[in-house]
Amino acid sequence: MTSLGRGASVALTDLEKSYDRVAAVAGVSLDIRSGEFLTLLGPSGSGKTTTLMMIAGFETPTAGDIAIDGTSVVGMPPYRRNIGMVFQNYALFPHLTVEENIGFPLKQRGMPKPERAKLVGEALELVHLPGYGGRYPRQLSGGQQQRVALARAIVFKPRLLLMDEPLGALDKQLRENLQLEMRRLHADLGITFIYVTHDQEEALTMSDRIAVMNDGLVAQVGSPEDLYDRPSSRFVAAFIGESNFLPATVRGMEDDVVVAECEGAIVRAICPGRPASGDRVLLTTRPERLRFTDGAWSSSAPQNRMNVTVTEAVFAGERCRYMLQAADGTAMVLKEPSSAAIRRRAVGERTEIAWSVADTILV
Amino acid sequence: MNLVQAIAGRVLPTTVVGLILLFLIFPIVVVMVVSFSSATYLTFPPPAFDLRWYKAYFGNEDWLRPTWLSIWVAAAVVILSTLLGTLAALGIARLPPALRVVASGLILSPLIVPVIVVAIGIYYAFSRYGLVGTPVALVLAHTCLAVPFVVTSVSASLSGIDPRLQQASLSLGATPIGTFFQVTLPLIRPGVLVGALFAFITSFDELVVSLFLSGSGAVTLPRRMWDDLRFAIDPTIAAVSTLTIVLTVALMGCAHLLRKRAT
C-alpha cells in the first residue's frame, strides 16, 4: 500500500445502476488517482451524474463496487463518507447566512465556535469573498453563490470533491473565470476532484484526465490531448471537438500506419489495431489540421493529400471555415487561421489539401 | 362605442364584484353595528351607541367560562394536530406516488364527509368510553378536523423545498435527524405555523361536533352562543360574535403574512 496523498483515490469496479431494469450506468470501471482532476464528460442520459451520485452515496449501486482509498464505501451513508460536493444550482441553505452555510459541515463535526469562525474566514478568503459572511444566499449573484458552495464543500478539508455541473447556470464570461479558479484551487488544495459536465470545452480546459461517457459506459479515458488527438471511437471523435469522417478501404500496413484508399487517393492513418486488407474503415481528422497546398506546401512530416472542391466559404473573424467536397462526394470541413496575407478561397474552386499522417486516426 | 366598451370592460365587473362583496359582508357588518347598540333587543339600525353588551359579556361568568374552555381546547388541538399533521405530511412525501394519493385521501376524509356524519360517529364511539361531556373528547374530535389543514399546509411547503438541500446537508456530514432539524424544519416552518393557525380557528369556531360532545360539562363558546340564540336573545350575542370575528380575521391575517414571507 502506498502512502496516502492529500487526495483520495477512487476505484470504480464494474459499477452498475438500473431503474426498473433500465440501465443508467451499465458497468463502469475507472481508477481515479490521488490528487487528480478527473472529469466525467458525456451527453445527458449518459450516466455521468448517476455515477457521481453513487460515489456521493445518494444512489445505491445495483452491482459493482466503489472503493475510496482502497476501502469499499458501498452501503456507507453519505454523511459518513467525508466527501465535499458542489451541486447544480448551488444548493445553499436559504435560511442560513453565508457564514452559517460554510460553517455547517464544521458544526456537524462538533467544532467549537471560535475555531469554526477562523476556518470559515479562511475559506471565504480562498474563494475571494471576504466580508460577505453576514449575507444571505439570495443577496448574492450566481457566481458568488457558486463560490460560497465551493467554500462550504472544502472547508472541512475533504480528500475528495465532487462537482455536478457547477457552472451550468452561469454566463460564458463568468464560467471561464471560475474554470480557471477551480484549476488554481485544485492545484492549491491537492485533493482529488471529480467533475461532471456535458461541456467539452470546460472538460478540456480543466481536467487532468477525462472519462467520456455514453449510454452508461465509459467510451474512452485519457488526457485532454489523448482524447482530442487520438479518439478511439467515432462517438468520442464527434463529441469532443469537430471531426471529419472519411470512409476508406484498407490496402495494407506499414509498421503502425495503415494504408487505405479513400476518395480515389491513398491515405495513411495511425491505427492501434491491425485491420485486414480490404476492410471498410472510417478515418477521422480535425478541421484545423487540414491545409490548402496550392500544389506546393510541403512538410518534413509524412502527409496525406487529396483533391477537393470548395463548396462554402465562411469568414468567422479569427478563422475562416471552408466546406469542401472530395472526389466522390464526402463533405469535409477545413479551418484556417485568418490573415490578410492569405488568399480567401472562392466557392467552386478546385484545389488540393494536405494534412499530417499523425493527425489521421482510424476509429 | 367607447363608453359601451368602458362600461363592459371596467365599470360592469367592478360593480358586480362590489355587489358580491357587499352581499358577503353585509350580515357581518349588521352584527358588528348591532353589538354597539343601546337597545335591549336586536334591532337595526340601533337607536344609540353603547358598550353595555361588551360589559355584559366580560362581566358574565356564563360567557367567560365557555370562552376559556374554547381557548384551552383550541390550544391543545393546535399542539396535537400540528405535531400529527407535520409528521403525516413528512411521511406522505416519502411514499410512492400511488400510495401517496390513498394516504392523503384518507387524511382529508374528515373534510369530505358531512360534519354531521362525523359528529354522530364520534358521539357514538366516545359515549361508549364515557368521554362525552369532557374537554378531552372535544380536543380529540377537533384534532381530527384540524389535522387535514395542517397536512395540506405542510405538504405544500415540503413540495417547495429543493431535494438537493437535503442531499447537500447529508454530504456535509449532517445525519438524517440533524438534517431534519437544521434544514427541513426551518424551511417548512411557515407552512407549519399556517397549519397551526388554521387548526386553532377550526377548533375555536367549531359548533356541530361540539353540540354532540359538549354535554353539560364542557360547553364551548360556539355552543354557548347556540344555546343563547335558542333561549334568550339579546345583543350580547352580537358583541360575542364581533369579538370572534375580529379574532378570526386577525389569525387569518397572520397566516396570510406568514405565507407571503415564505415565498
Domain ranges of chain A: 10-237, 242-362
Question: Taking the CB of residue A302, how many other CB atoms lie within 10 A of it?
Answer: 12
User: How large is the C-alpha radius of gyration of chain B?
Assistant: 23
- Note whether B174 contacts A108, CB cutoff 8 Å: yes
Query: What percent of chain B shows pLDDT beyond 90?
Result: 64
Q: Which residues of B touch A95 (CB under 8 A)?
A: 186-187
Domain for residue B16, yes or no?
no
Residue listed under C-alpha cell 471511437 = A233
- Note whether A104 contacts B167, CB cutoff 8 Å: no
**Phi then psi for A29, rounded to 5 degrees?**
-120, 125
Cell numbers standing for residue A136? 444571505
Q: What is the pLDDT of residue A265?
A: 84
Q: What is the pLDDT of residue A300?
A: 67
Q: From B183, B93, B90, B155, select the one nearest A79 (Cα to Cα).
A: B183
Burial profile A306-318: b = 16 or more Cβ within 10 angstroms, e = fewer: bebebeebeeeee
Q: Which residues of B touch A92 (CB under 8 A)?
A: 168
Domain for residue B52, yes or no?
no
Beta bridge partners of A30: A12
Query: In whole angstroms, what is the distance from residue A120 CA to residue A154 CA?
Result: 10
Q: From B248, B72, B80, B81, select the one nearest B149 (Cα to Cα).
A: B81
Any CB–CB contact under 8 A between B161 and chain A? Answer: no
Q: Are A90 and A133 in contact (CB under 8 A)?
A: no
- Note whether B165 contacts A78, CB cutoff 8 Å: no
Shortest Cα distance from A224 to chain B (angstroms)?
Answer: 30
Any CB–CB contact under 8 A between B166 and chain A? Answer: no
Residues of chain A contacting B, Cβ within 8 Å: 56-58, 77-79, 81-85, 87-89, 91-95, 104-105, 108-109, 152-153, 156
Domain for residue B35, yes or no?
no
Q: What is the ipTM of this complex?
A: 0.83
Q: Which domain holds residue B74?
A: 61-262
Q: What is the pLDDT of residue A2?
A: 44
Q: Are A275 and A260 in contact (CB under 8 A)?
A: no
CB nearest to A156's CB, from B162, B173, B187: B173
Q: Residue A48, SS3?
A: helix
Q: Which residues of A touch B177 (CB under 8 A)?
A: none
Q: From A359, A242, A356, select the one nearest A302 (Cα to Cα).
A: A356
Query: In whole angstroms, what is the distance from residue A129 CA to residue A148 CA?
Result: 8
- Note whether B168 contacts A84, CB cutoff 8 Å: no
Residue ranges in chain B whose pLDDT is less than 70: 1, 262-263
Cell numbers standing for residue A311? 463548396
Any CB–CB contact under 8 A between B97 and chain A? Answer: no
Please, where are the H alpha helices in chain A?
A: 48-56, 98-108, 113-126, 142-154, 172-189, 200-206, 224-229, 234-239
- Note whether A104 contacts B186, CB cutoff 8 Å: no
CA distances from B226 to A258, A356, B30 (A): 100, 99, 19
Question: Taking the CB of residue B19, how many other CB atoms lie within 10 A of it?
Answer: 10
Q: What is the pLDDT of residue A303?
A: 84
Residue of A nearest to B162 (CA): A91
Residue ranges in chain A whose pLDDT is less than 50: 1-3
- Give one DSSP letter per residue of chain B, joined into a string: -HHHHHIIIIIHHHHHHHHHHHHHHHHHHHHHHHHTB-SSS--SS-SSB--HHHHHHHT-HHHHHHHHHHHHHHHHHHHHHHHHHHHHHHHHHHS-HHHHHHHHHHHHHHHHS-HHHHHHHHHHHHHHTT-TTSHHHHHHHHHHHHHHHHHHHHHHHHHTS-HHHHHHHHHTT--HHHHIIIIIHHHHHHHHHHHHHHHHHHHHT--HHHHHH-TTT---HHHHHHHHHHH---THHHHHHHHHHHHHHHHHHHHHHHHHHH-
Shortest Cα distance from A153 to chain B (angstroms)?
Answer: 7
CATH class for the region spanning A10-237? alpha beta
- A138: Cβ–Cβ under 8 A, 6 or more apart, which residues? A94
- Note whether A108 contacts B172, CB cutoff 8 Å: yes
Q: Are A253 and A268 in contact (CB under 8 A)?
A: no
Q: Please state whether beta strands A291-292 and A160-164 pair in parallel, antiparallel, or not at all (unpaired).
A: unpaired
Q: Are B244 and B261 in contact (CB under 8 A)?
A: no
Name the residue type at position B75: A
Q: Residue A96, SS3?
A: coil
- Note whether B173 contacts A109, CB cutoff 8 Å: yes
Query: In whole angstroms, what is the distance from residue A154 CA to residue A158 CA?
Result: 6
DSSP 8-state assignment for residue A239: H
Domain for residue B54, yes or no?
no
Q: Which residues of B touch A101 (CB under 8 A)?
A: none
A137: preceding bond cis by omega (within 30 degrees)? no
Percentages helix, strand, coil for chain A, rounded to the nearest 5?
25, 35, 40
Any CB–CB contact under 8 A between B162 and chain A? Answer: yes
- Note whether B173 contacts A79, CB cutoff 8 Å: yes
Domain for residue B7, yes or no?
no
Shortest Cα distance from B75 to chain A (angstroms)?
Answer: 28
User: Which candidate in A50, A53, A58 is best for mutational testing of the B interface (most B CBs within 10 A)?
Assistant: A58
- Note whether A91 contacts B165, CB cutoff 8 Å: yes
Query: In whole angstroms, what is the distance from residue A87 CA to residue A156 CA?
Result: 17
Regarding the domain delimited by A242-362, which CATH topology (the fold level of the hierarchy) does it fall under? OB fold (Dihydrolipoamide Acetyltransferase, E2P) (2.40.50)
Query: In whole angstroms, what is the distance from residue A196 CA to residue B243 CA?
Result: 61
Query: In whole angstroms, what is the distance from residue B107 CA to residue B88 CA?
Result: 9
Q: Are A157 and A122 in contact (CB under 8 A)?
A: no
Q: Please state whether beta strands A361-362 and A257-262 pair in parallel, antiparallel, or not at all (unpaired).
A: unpaired
CATH number assigned to the domain comprising residue B155: 1.10.3720.10
Q: Which residues of A touch B165 (CB under 8 A)?
A: 91, 93-94
The C-alpha angle B143, B144, B149, rounded to 5 degrees, equals 80
Residue of A nearest to B173 (CA): A79
Any CB–CB contact under 8 A between B171 and chain A? Answer: yes
Q: How many domains is chain B partitioned into structurally?
A: 1
